[in-house]
Amino acid sequence: MTEYKISLIPGDGIGPELSDATKIVLEAIKKKFDIKLKIIEAEAGDCALASRGVALPEDTVEIIKNSHACMKGPVGESAADVIVKLRVMFDLYANLRPLRAYPAVPVARPDIDMLFVRENTEDVYKGIECKIDDGTALCLRIITRKNSERIAKKAFEMARLRNGKKKVTAIHKANVMRVTDGLFASVCREVAKQYPDIAFNELYVDAASMRLIKEPQVFDVLCTCNMFGDILSDEAAQLIGGLGMAPGANIGDNFALFEPIHGSAPNRAGKHTANPISMILSAKMMLDWLGEKYNDGKCLQAGAAIEKGVIYALENKQTVPDCGGNTTTLGMAEAIATALTVKTG
């Protein structure tokens, strides 16, 4: 039996609380499904910057390199020096952000079920900026055929796997950014021809932001470049109960990192009321990925069980105030862990 080494960066702000909550659920998973998970904590973020002078220490990178997968809590102002660097370092080119309406949560519509497939390694998030003079700043936007093609293929492959509408929507602004977004859009069209079983359409990013509010139920898989996907997925998360309901995965060909899509919320740290679902569902995505990569049916079963446990806690109001309950972050995690043994067996 494989022992999976999972590197864990607790993060800043509410990050350690969410990480502790997720560990409670993973401990229950280990016992119920007899899965060997060894969690190895590593430091990164504002806390590491303050104590060690660097946001992403070399020993943390080594721990991640020697793990099967990584989980990360949200980090603070040093996020660009942590997650953006890790995405490039491990070539985690696909950022997957599933957003669906869960029961007993205030949502815009109960039939929302979409997946953002966001290019994760280029665009303006390359961070290539400079000042020309005191009154002028410059940012370089990089869009390549290679990265546009592989993210488009990932979007179509995910559309095939989902029990949804079998539809990919490419989002861009090629009518204004004719060269960069023009390249992205043209590659998406080329890739679409390779998947005749999947419907394909395009939207300008401003129209997409409007339609996400007006008719979110029409979307299935949304394929975007880096910055647009970051912004639109945060917007769409508000339709399903907020960022606390939104997990995320950073996927490469050989490695993956899983994290909630929100920030560290330092104003809520220590109050123990942060919604842990975003990180617990990120752990579910990690188990799904491990199960697929290593052909491990127990991991796939465990991932499905976590989602059932989340639904059980929501329906029974064993939740934090954000979800209508009155328990704590850890209390909600314990309810989900208990549900794994009594509800999903």
List, by residue number, the catalytic residues.
125, 173, 206, 230, 234
Question: d(Cα 231, Cα 302) in Å, to the nearest integer?
Answer: 31
- Tell me if 170 sits within 8 A of 149, measured CB to CB: no
| Distance, CA of 304 to chain centre | 17
Q: Which residues pair with 139 in a beta bridge?
A: 129
Question: d(Cα 275, Cα 4) in Å, to the nearest integer?
Answer: 26
**Coarse DSSP helix, strand, coil percentages of the chain, rounded to the nearest 5 percent:** 50, 20, 35
Residues 204-243 as b or e (16 or more Cβ within 10 Å = b): bbeebbeebeeebeebbbbbbbbebbbebbbebbbbbbbb
Q: Could you give the strand order of the β-sheet that contains 94-100, starting from the edge strand earlier in sequence?
A: 36-41, 3-9, 69-72, 256-260, 247-251, 94-100, 113-119, 221-224, 167-172, 199-204
247: helix, coil or strand? Answer: strand
Q: How far is CA 49 from CA 14, 62, 86, 156, in A?
A: 17, 17, 16, 39
214: helix, coil or strand? Answer: helix
For residue 83, give the nearest of 9, 5, 4 by alpha carbon: 9
Q: Which helix (H) or strand (E) holds 72?
A: strand 69-72
Six token digits for residue 150 = 């592989």
Residues 133-159 as b or e (16 or more Cβ within 10 Å = b): eeeeeeeebebbeebbebbbbbbbbbb
